[in-house]
Structure formats: structure tokens, C-alpha cells
Structure 1
Amino acid sequence: MIVTAWNNGAHSRNGAGYGFKVSVADRDLHFKPEWDVIVLELEGEEPFEVNINKEAFWSEACRELMSANIGKWLRQQGLAPWPKGNPPYFVVDPLEDNRFSVSKAGKKSGKKPF
């Protein structure tokens, strides 16, 4: 699945306020409401948990996987902050159960992948 980097507008140096935006179709296909957390494996980093047991993730409007770990990784990779309206996007592959790997897919061209 393809996800887009997301930020709450603060672009905090400590990584807070960053995440990945998931399409409704991918969320419904790959994530289960009974899961409290998922485990993300970012390239070169130790796996970590991300809370998905929240109303916002399951709403039509939000759907972000939010974690300071994501923000720190994006900043370390030189992928954040990004030009307004042009966040990078990533490939998220389901590994098993609630475990997913994330790899760089490139830069968006301003066109939404979903």
C-alpha cells in the first residue's frame, strides 16, 4: 500500500506531530479494529508500536498513523520538513498480523495517491 507523510503543521524537531496518512481502502483492507497497536519497521530502525485504537484513525477524515518515531525517522532521512503540498510517500507492506514494513517510494508530484 502507498501512504503519504503527514504533519500536523508544527514540523517539530523532536518528531512529534508526524505520521503516515493511509487511504480508507487500505486501512479497511490491512488494519483490524480489534488491534490496539501495529508494529512498524522503518528502514534502518528498530520496530516500534503505533496506536490505532482511536476514533480518529477509523474515521473517514483522519486515518493517520502518528508517532514521534516516524517524525524522527523522516527528519533523519532528510524527508521532513517537505515543501508545502508535496509530502513524500512510502510503500507499506504487511508482514504478518499487525506488523508492517515501511520503505521509501519517492516524492509525490502533487497528485494524491488516493
Structure 2
Amino acid sequence: MKVSTWYGSGIYGVRVGSKNRENYFDPAWETIIVVLDGQEYTFKLTDGFWNECPEFRESKDEPVIKNWLLKYRTLNWPNRQTPKMELIPIEPKKFKLVP
């Protein structure tokens, strides 16, 4: 699925969008696993994910999405032109993020 970068309050995330959320995510899930460069990371799905904010976010203590973006994309983009990438479903609750 096509996804984009999200940024807010010093935290980076991946915006999946409402259509992808409905097609690929289960409301029973509280967390998902995302594979970045062969390493698995767990991300919490907030209440907002199921409402108006369909993105998963890194924690301030572990900036894994920020570091991944630095490696493959950029941390600077024009307003409303966030970098796009692919989030591939591997199994239930588990995805792989590719540039």
C-alpha cells in the first residue's frame, strides 16, 4: 500500500490513510510490527488512529522512523508534499516499510 511520512511535535510517523486503515488494519489490534531494514519494531495504534489520525508514530525515546527517513528519504519536504513509500503487509499485524 502507498503511505506517506507524518510529522508532529518532534515525532515522525507513517500516515497510512483512512482507506488503507480500513483495508489492512483490524480495530482489535493495539499494536503492529513494522520491519525496517530487517529489524522488527512495535508501534502502538492510538485511539486517534481509528478516528481522524490514521498514522502510527515512533516514540520520542526511539526515533526509528526518523532515522529510517534520514537514510532513505529526507526530513525536509514542502508543505503537503510528504515523501511517499510502500508499506507491505507480511502477515496479520506485521508490515514491511520500503523506500
Q: Compute the TM-score of the two structures, normalised by the length of structure 2.
A: 0.85
Structure 2 residue runs without a partner (length 5+): none
- The aligned residue for residue 48 of structure 2 is 56
CA–CA distance in 1 between the matches of 2:73 and 2:93? 28
Q: CA RMSD in A?
A: 1.5
Asked whether 1:65 is paired with 2:56, we answer: yes
List runs of 5+ in structure 1 lacking aligned partners: 105-114
The size of the alignment, in residue pairs, is 95
Identical-residue share of aligned pairs (%): 26
Structure with more of its chain in strand, by fraction: 2
1:45 positional shift: 4.7
Which structure 1 residue ranges, 4+ long, deviate > 3 Å from structure 2?
none
Confirm or deny that 1:90 pairs with 2:85. yes
What is the CA–CA distance in structure 2 between the aligned matches of 1:21 and 1:81, rounded to whole Å?
A: 16
> What is the CA distance between 1:66 and its match in structure 2?
0.4
From the CA coordinates, give the structure whose radius of gyration is larger: 1
- Structure 1 residue identity aligned to 2:93: N
CA contact (8 A) 2:17 2:55 kept: no
> Where does residue 5 of structure 2 map in the other structure?
5
Residue in 2 aligned with 1:74? 69
